[in-house]
A and B are shown apart, each in its own frame.
Chain A
Amino acid sequence: MTPSIASEGSLLRIDALTKSFGGFVALDNISVEVRKGERFGLIGPNGSGKTTLVNCISGVLRPNKGVVLFRDEDITPLPPNQRARRGIARSFQIPRPFKSMTVMENLMVALDFAAGHNVLEPASHRRGTAMSILTRMGLASKADEATATLTQVELRKMELARAMATGPKLLVSDEAMAGLSTSEVDEVLDLLMSLAGEDIAIIMIEHIMQAVMRFSDRVMCLDAGKIIAIGSPTEVMANLRVQEAYLGT
């Protein structure tokens, strides 16, 4: 790995990133690159630093050391809202809908603030955009429902739809399939696969291995804040340290 040299088509570059909470080092000198349109799987046992990495990418946490470059621009000091406007979207491990709003209004927040729409553009245009995203996600019939009425899988899709409405170049999906049934996992996975097709890179954090294997171009495995393997899904799965981290010795 030569993180200091930007390769062709690099979208996100993380360079020597370290994040610690008090004496606990959650991420230890992480360097990695995600390419444009890439499907990137992020795995690792609980507490290995996956969500901390996501938080450093989306701007929720500031790293102690290291830089985050997005489209060749240093975004390390930027707050999450500016990163969202530059094209980094995320979903949350536990869905965080805007509870007092309908599904449509949830998406309108993203369209109003992140998607770079002209302020003078009529609201009906934005509604149209929101509706077409909802249709793709299979949520069109729920557009005017309150988020409280949604099922778990619908909430997950709503979060992805809201993230898509920000017009992202990079979508970070933090365990969007946790707690879903097998058929629902396939449903969400198909959605993510179809989204990745169009110039959007996706970082998928997941514990469900079949999903990671099917989805990813490349997989990275974290353990105790360090990268223990990175490469094609089969390579990473064959790695002894990965098996050790997951299964124990």
Chain B
Amino acid sequence: MNRNNIAFWSGAVVFLAAVLVMTRTIGNEYPFFAGYVILQFVVLSVAWSILGGYAGYVNFGTNAFFGVGVYTAVLLVEEFGAPLGVQIAVAALVGSLLGLGVGLLTMRMRGIFFSIATIALAIIIETSVTNWRFVGGAAGIQLQRPAVMPPFDSYVKMLFFVQALLVVIAVATTRAIQNSRIGRGLQALRDDELAAECTGVPTLRLKLLACAISGALISAGGAPAAMYLQYADPSSAFNLNYSISVLAMSLIGGTAHWVGPVLGAILLGVTQQLLAVTISSEVNVLVLGIMLVVFVVAAPKGIIGLLRRWSPLRAKDRS
């Protein structure tokens, strides 16, 4: 283990410990209720950036993967009464298979065509779920939370901790990809797919891998939402706002480094939560749009791009 790894994993442990202490000391549930959404967006954005950032394949179907995560959980609860851990694990598996399927179907699609195909996918899956009576159909379905597990005293606090754990898993995975030859291969295929292929990069295999990992993490991040809301319906689980928010968070943060989507998700997530309590939740989308425009014009490489310009944090220092 080198120094960067030690620093990263100590950071992760400190983060999880802090989260655990918070759940033990803060009595009010609201901070956890709001914080859960922010952590969820960190997971989604980091996962999205594997395919959208490193590989340059802009996925507009985040909502498809998210919704599939939610409904996998719903199905497992309804059919088997499966515990939360199983819900998340199976959602990750289903998400990775879906990612693989998307990758295979869109093998020769690039740029905007890939993005359109992912939107189409989201619509197809949403329509299917809407017509599936067992999981509630268009009307949605109510879910009963099971008893909370110790050491937590409320289910929302537990979900907050679980989502924090998913943040660590998602970030660690993305960081590992970024620092490995897979990351370099994805970067090469983003720059020039043909040149990458002729330089020995198995572009198709790497693309499929990126689709599968990104899909697995997005679905895993979505799975606890079923228990969080105690309710699921197709139009909110497959809401296109997830895609747009995640895209904006990743781009505003910057996709050159895993820190980018984390910063973007925290910045936008916190802003959204503050706006939701102070003005209205509808203003969210407006602010999101304005921030995206401002960043695209003023800082096309996102917060990461700004940091690199101002500090000696160079592309070489990948940690």
A interface residues, Cβ below 8 angstroms from B: 58-60, 79-82, 84-85, 89-90, 92, 96-102, 105, 108-110, 112-115, 119, 144, 162-163, 166
Contacts and interface: CB of A to CB of B under 8 A. Distances in A.
A206 B246 CA distance: 49
Contact of B199 (A79, A82, A166): A166
A89 to B, nearest CB: 8
Given A60-B197, A81-B198, 19 more contacts: A59-B198, A80-B198, A81-B202, A84-B199, A92-B195, A97-B191, A97-B195, A98-B187, A98-B196, A99-B192, A100-B191, A109-B199, A109-B201, A113-B185, A113-B199, A113-B200, A113-B201, A114-B200, A166-B200
A90 B198 contact: yes
B279 to A, nearest CB: 39
B100 interface: no
B203 interface: yes
Nearest to A117: B181
A58 B315 contact: no
B200 A101 contact: no
A239 to B, nearest CB: 32
A112 B315 contact: no
B187 A100 contact: yes
Given A98-B192, A102-B315, A113-B202, A80 B185 contact: no
B191 A113 contact: no
Contacts of A166: 199-200
A112 B184 contact: yes
22 contacts: A58-B198, A60-B198, A79-B197, A79-B204, A80-B194, A81-B202, A81-B203, A85-B200, A96-B192, A96-B194, A97-B191, A97-B192, A99-B191, A101-B187, A102-B315, A109-B196, A109-B199, A110-B200, A113-B201, A144-B316, A163-B199, A166-B200
B199 A110 contact: yes
B258 to A, nearest CB: 16
Contact of A162 (B194, B199, B203): B199
The majority secondary structure among interface residues of chain B is helix
Contacts of A100: 187, 190-191, 256
B170 interface: no
B188 interface: yes
Contacts of B187: 98, 100-101
A56 B98 CA distance: 34
A79 B205 CA distance: 12
A96 B195 contact: yes
Nearest to A58: B198
Nearest to A108: B184
Interface of B: 181, 184-185, 187-188, 190-192, 194-204, 256, 315-316
Contact of A112 (B185, B192, B203): B185
A112 B202 CA distance: 11
Nearest to A126: B181
A239 B9 CA distance: 70
A99 B315 CA distance: 13
Nearest to B315: A102
Contacts of A89: 198-199
A105 to B, nearest CB: 7
A114 B316 CA distance: 22
Given A101-B187, A144-B316, A81 B200 contact: yes
Contacts of B256: 100
Given A60-B194, A79-B197, A80-B197, A109 B188 contact: yes
A166 B197 CA distance: 12
The interface centre, meaning the residue of B197, B199, B203 with most chain A CB atoms within 10 A of its CB, is B199
B191 A101 contact: yes
B150 to A, nearest CB: 43
Contact of A84 (B185, B188, B200, B316): B200
B223 to A, nearest CB: 33
Nearest to B197: A80
A151 to B, nearest CB: 19
A115 B201 CA distance: 11
A79 B256 CA distance: 29
Contacts of B198: 58-60, 80-81, 84, 89-90
A166 B200 CA distance: 7
Nearest to B182: A112
Nearest to B181: A112
